[in-house]
Structure 1
Amino acid sequence: MTGLAGAYTGYAEGVEGTASNAAAPAVREPFSHKWFDYDLSASFSFPGTFSGTDFDNRGRRNISGTSTFGDFLYLNLGLQLQFGELGLAITDDLQQFNLTPATADDPGLTLQTSRWHALAAYGFLGNQLVLGAGARIVALQISQTGQFVPGRTLFNMVGASPEAGMLYKPDGAVWRFGATLRAPVIARSLGESSTTVDPSTGVERAGKFILPEKIVQPWEAEIGVSLQAGPRPLNPRWLNPHIEEAPVRARIERARAERDREHQAKLAAAPPGRRNTLEIAFAEQERSLRMIEDMRLKAESDRLLAQRRARYANWPREKILIVASFLFTGASDNTIDVASFLDQKLEPFGRTVTVMPRFGIEAEPVHDRVRARIGSYVEPSRFPNGSVRQHLTCGADIKLFPFDAWGLIGATTWRISFAVDLAPRYANWGVGIGAWH
C-alpha cells in the first residue's frame, strides 16, 4: 500500500485493505481457493521522535530538541477470516509515546492511542459486488509508570462510529471501483480518572499535561478505481468450492436417502423377530458405504482444489496495474493534532475539509521474480499556515524460496518487500516478509 501511495480503495484486497475500504474483508483474492481462508498482518517500527522533521506537514521543519516526547512505537495488528461469501476483519493501529521519563523519585507518563477497525462484509453476485460495514474505534490512555512501582492508568477516552464501503469488480472486467464512508468519531472520558483539577480554572491535568476534553477523528470519504492492462486477469471469477462440490454432495445425499427408504421398506415387510438382525446388518453396510462415499467426496474435493490451483498457476503474469483514489477528510472545530498535544502547544489543526489525491502503478519487470511499484500523492496541510506537498513512493517484492517451517505451515514461497515514502521535510521506509503469489 505504501509503494502504491495508499491508492487502495479501488483494489481492496487482503487484511491491509480494511484501512482503505470497509468491503475488503470479503474480497476474494485470485489465489484464495478454499471456502475458508484467512489473512494475518503484523508490523512495528521505532521512528523515534518527530524532532527535526515535519511529520504532520506544518509547513516548516521542527527545530531539533523542541519536542518533549520520545520513544515512539508504532504497532499494527490485523486478522481476517473468510467463510465463503462472508468476511470478517479486525485491525488495530497502536501508537505509544513516553511523555516523561520515570525516575527514582517521580513516575513517568506514557500515552497510547489506538485506532480499531471491526468490519463484516459479504460478496454478492458471485463476489462481484462486495458490501461491508462496521465500526472504527478510537481510544486514548495515559498511564503512570515507575522504576520501582507498578504502573496505573490515569486517564481513558474511548469513542466509536460506523463506517461502510463497497467494491464492484465485474468478472472478466479490467477495472474495479470502490468507495467507503466513515462517520466522525468523538471519544470522551471513560470511567474514573486519577488526575488533578485546578479548582480556580477547572483545568484537568495528568502530571504537567493539560488533558483534552475529547478526541476527534473527522469524517472521511474515499473513492478509488483500479485498471489493469496486459493478459493477466484483474477480476477472475471466484469459484466457490461448496458450489463446485454441490453436485457430488447431492448425489451422495440422494443415494443415502434411497438406501434408507429401501431399508425402511424391508423392515416394514420383515417379521418382528428379524428386524433387529436387519438393523444391525444395515448399520454395518451403511457404515462401509458411507466411508467409501466420504473417500470419493474427499478425492473429488482434492481434484477440484488442484484444478482451481492449476487455473491460477496457468494465468500469464504480465500486467500493468494502475490505481487512483481521492480521500476527503472533514473539518473539526477547536482541535489540535496529537503532536501539538504532546508538545502542549495550541496550534489550530483540521479546521477545513481537505482532499488528498493518490496514484500508483504496479508491474512485474522480472517475470515471476520481482514486482515493482511507484506512486505519488499530494498531502494537504491541516494547519492554517501549512502548504501542500507532494510525496513520491516506491517499493518492490522480491521472490525468495519455498519453506514450510519444518512442516508447521503449508508449502509457501516467501518474498521480501520494501517501500519508501519521500517528501520535503519527510522520509519513511520499511521492509517486510510475506508469501509470494
Structure 2
Amino acid sequence: MSTGARTYGWVLLCAAVLCGAPAAWAQDEEPQAPRPERLYFNPGALLGSARVVALGGAYVGIAEGAAGFPSNLAALAHRSASLEKDWDLGVTLTWLDLPFVGGRKRDLDNDGRPDESEDSRQLLGGLLLQYKRFGIGFALRNSAVSYCATAACNGDSERIRVSLTQSVLAGAVAFGQDDFILALGLFAVQASFRLSSGGDEIRYGDTGVEVDMLYRPHGRAWRLGVTVRPEVVADLREEDGQAPVLAGRTLFGAVVAPAVLSLGASWRFGEGSERYNRLSPAARRQLIVEGDALPVPEEEPKGAPAGRWLLSAQVDLFSGVDNAVPLRSFASTGEEQPVGHASEFAPRIGVEHDTVPGMIRLRAGVYAEPSPFDGRPARPHFTGGFEVFVLRYWEDWALTASFDLARRYTNVGLSVGFWR
C-alpha cells in the first residue's frame, strides 16, 4: 500500500472516531431509569399507639383521643365524656419496636423466613385540637429499617436506611347531638432511602383523600365506625442530576400503598354501659344555648359508671396492587417475588377492662395478619398491655405500654399521653 493510501485510511479512521464520540458522550449523559417495579408498603403490619396495638388494632369502632385518630379520623371531633370546656387539646407520642430483639431474627414482611434487616424502629405522634363540634389534627407514623449494602456484613459495613412514613392532616365535624361524626383528611405516603455514611437522600411521595365516620347513638352501649383510605402511588422525586442508584443498586420507580377499607364496632358491658355514648357537659351546654330541636339528653351524674368492660371488633380489607415487590428486595440477591396483587382481609378483636377505675386499665387482643406473598397463610398475633395514671399537672397524664407477639415477630411499645 502506498504512503498516500495509508494516510487516507488514518484520516477516515480518525473521522469515524470523532463522529462517534459525541454519540457515546450523549449516551453516557442519559439519566439512568429506575426499575419498573413498585415497592410495596405493607398495610398488614400493625402501626399505632400503645392502646391501639394492645387492642389488636381494633380501634375504628372506638375512635377516641389523639392516640386513636390515626385509626379513625372521626376521633378529631369526638368529645370526651368529661369535657367541660368548649375546646380540648390532645397529644400522643409512641415509640414502638423497642430494641429487645435483633432484626435478623424477625419476619416483618410475613414471608415465612427471618429478615435480613439490621435494625428497625417505629414512631407515632399525633396532635388534635377541638373547638365545640369541630376538630383538626395531624398525625405521623414512621417505620425505619436498615439493610447491609454489601454481602459480607459486619459492624463497620455500609447500610442502606429505608424510611417509610404515613401522615395525615384532617378535619372533622360532629352532627346532630354528637351522634354522627364525619371526617376528611389528606393522606400522604412518603419514603426515603440513603446510606448510613451520609450523602444524597432519594425520596418518594404522593397524597390521597381519606374519608372516615363514626356513629354513636345516645343511650346505646355500642358504636360503629368506617374508614376509607385510597391507594397511593408515591412516585420517585428525582432532583437534578440525581440517579436512582444507591450502593450500586437501582431503586424502584414508585412506592405503592394499597387502598384500605375498615369496618369496626365496639360495645360496653357492665353497670352503666348505656352511658357509653353520653354527651359531655360542654356538648350538652352548647345544645341548650343553640336551642336544639330535639330533646337534650339529661345530664349524667359526674363519675357515674359507664361499663367497666369494652369489647371491640374490626375487619380491614386491603386492595390488590400491580407490579409490586417487598421491602426485602434491598437485601436479597435472588429473583424478585411479586407481592400484594390479591385482595386480603385482616380480622381483629380487642378487650379492655377498667381494673382500678381512674387508675389502671388492662387490655388484650388478637388479629390475623395476611401475607402479601402467594401461598403464605395469615399469621395470628396476640397483643396486650396496660395504661396507668401517672400525675395531674395541667392535664391528667398517663403511661401506656403494649406488646404484639407472633411467630418470628415481637413488638413492644411505650406511649405518653392524656388520661381520658
TM-score range, shorter chain: 0.7 to 0.9
Tell me, yes or no, if the aligned pair for 2:91 and 2:417 is still in contact at 8 Å: no
Structural mapping, 1:360-379, within 5 Å: 360-379=350-369
Q: Deviations over 1:375-417 (max 9, x none)?
A: 11111211113111211112222334x342xxxxx153x4333
**Residue 54 (structure 2) aligns with:** 3
Q: Deviations over 1:100-156 (max 9, x none)?
A: 5899x998643322111111111000211000111210111223554xxxx443422
CA distance in 2, matches of 1:89, 1:398: 25
CA distance in 1, matches of 2:81, 2:180: 15
| Pair 329,411 (structure 1): closer, same or farther in 2 beyond 3 Å | closer
Greater Cα radius of gyration, structure 1 or 2: 1
Q: Show structure 2 runs of 5+ residues with no match.
A: 1-51, 291-298
**Residue 305 (structure 1) aligns with:** none
**Residue 108 (structure 2) aligns with:** 55
CA distance in 2, matches of 1:334, 1:348: 7
Tell me, yes or no, if the aligned pair for 1:35 and 1:242 is still in contact at 8 Å: no
**Residue 271 (structure 1) aligns with:** none
Aligned partner of residue 51 in structure 1, secondary structure: helix
Give the Å deviation of 1:209.
Answer: 2.5
In the alignment, structure 1 residue 389 sits paired with structure 2 residue 368:
no
CA distance in 1, matches of 2:159, 2:329: 19
**Equivalent residue letter for 1:141:** S
Structural mapping, 1:82-93, within 5 Å: 82-93=130-141
| Pair 37,154 (structure 1): closer, same or farther in 2 beyond 3 Å | same
Tell me, yes or no, if the aligned pair for 1:326 and 1:355 is still in contact at 8 Å: yes
**Residue 159 (structure 1) aligns with:** 206
In the alignment, structure 1 residue 186 sits paired with structure 2 residue 246:
no
**Residue 329 (structure 2) aligns with:** 340
Give the Å deviation of 1:70.
Answer: 2.6
| Pair 98,356 (structure 1): closer, same or farther in 2 beyond 3 Å | closer
After superposing the two structures, state which structure 1 stretch, 228-237 or 174-183, moved more. 228-237
CA distance in 1, matches of 2:362, 2:304: 19
**Equivalent residue letter for 1:205:** V
**Residue 349 (structure 1) aligns with:** 339
**Residue 316 (structure 2) aligns with:** 327
Structural mapping, 1:292-303, within 5 Å: none
Give the paired residue count.
352
**Equivalent residue letter for 2:351:** I
Report percent identity of matched pairs: 26
**Equivalent residue letter for 1:329:** F
**Which of 42, 64, 80 is residue 13 of structure 1 equivalent to?**
64
CA distance in 1, matches of 2:149, 2:113: 25
Aligned partner of residue 110 in structure 2, secondary structure: coil
**Residue 77 (structure 1) aligns with:** 125
**Which of 413, 417, 422 is residue 405 of structure 2 equivalent to?**
422
Give the Å deviation of 1:167.
Answer: 0.4
CA distance in 2, matches of 1:246, 1:25: 23
**Residue 261 (structure 2) aligns with:** 221
CA distance in 2, matches of 1:369, 1:38: 21
TM-score between the two structures when normalised by the length of structure 1: 0.73
**Equivalent residue letter for 2:207:** A
Aligned partner of residue 243 in structure 1, secondary structure: helix
**Residue 266 (structure 1) aligns with:** none
Q: Deviations over 1:263-296 (max 9, x none)?
A: xxxxxxxxxxxxxxxxxxxxxxxxxxxxxxxxxx
Aligned partner of residue 2 in structure 1, secondary structure: helix
After superposing the two structures, state which structure 1 stretch, 388-397 or 414-423, moved more. 414-423
**Residue 143 (structure 1) aligns with:** 194
**Equivalent residue letter for 2:286:** I
CA distance in 1, matches of 2:110, 2:381: 11
CA distance in 1, matches of 2:102, 2:128: 32
Tell me, yes or no, if the aligned pair for 2:194 and 2:246 is still in contact at 8 Å: no
In the alignment, structure 1 residue 175 sits paired with structure 2 residue 230:
no
Tell me, yes or no, if the aligned pair for 1:360 and 1:374 is still in contact at 8 Å: yes
TM-score between the two structures when normalised by the length of structure 2: 0.76
**Equivalent residue letter for 1:189:** L
Aligned partner of residue 169 in structure 2, secondary structure: strand
Q: Show structure 1 runs of 5+ residues with no match.
A: 197-203, 248-307, 405-409
